[in-house]
Amino acid sequence: MPLRRRKQWWGVTLDAPDGAALGRFYARLLDWQFFSSGDGRGGAVAPSENAGYNLGFQTEENYVRPVWPAEPGQPQMSMHLEIEVDDLDEAVAHAVEAGAALAAFQPQDDVRVMLDPAGHPFCLYLGESDESEQADVA
């Protein structure tokens, strides 16, 4: 894969019933490039070929969709992604248009828990505005 040309490289890989389809979802969501694994079973997304980091996706034949929030005896998420956004409503609309679903349970006012097409939770949260960042510097 072209993403491994740099000496410093890191990534996280998510399993899914269709790794390539989930990768294409995250490419739309993040406006990143999708790099196929070549076998049609997965791939990775990154902002560029030489970014040095990515999100990977692989097909897992025995994948079981996690339940969120967790319930006893049900498959649980093992991690979730955090994505900072400027406008929460706009980001939620974009995520839904890309193929995500808004989770039924929302524990915080300034965070939206979303579910990707394979059921992995990810959070959209409000970042600090430029004004508050400038005030912190002053």
Cα–Cα nearest to 57, from 27, 98, 95: 27
| pLDDT in single tens digits along all 138 residues of the chain | 455 555 566 789 999 999 999 999 999 999 999 999 989 899 999 999 888 889 999 999 999 999 999 999 999 988 899 999 999 999 999 999 999 999 999 999 999 999 999 999 999 999 876 554 444 443
> Using an 8 Å Cβ cutoff, are 95 and 114 in contact?
yes
Q: Tokens standing for 98? A: 């890309």
> Using an 8 Å Cβ cutoff, are 124 and 92 in contact?
yes
Domains of the chain: 1-61 (3.30.720), 78-138 (3.10.180.10)
Tokens 């406006």 belong to which residue?
31
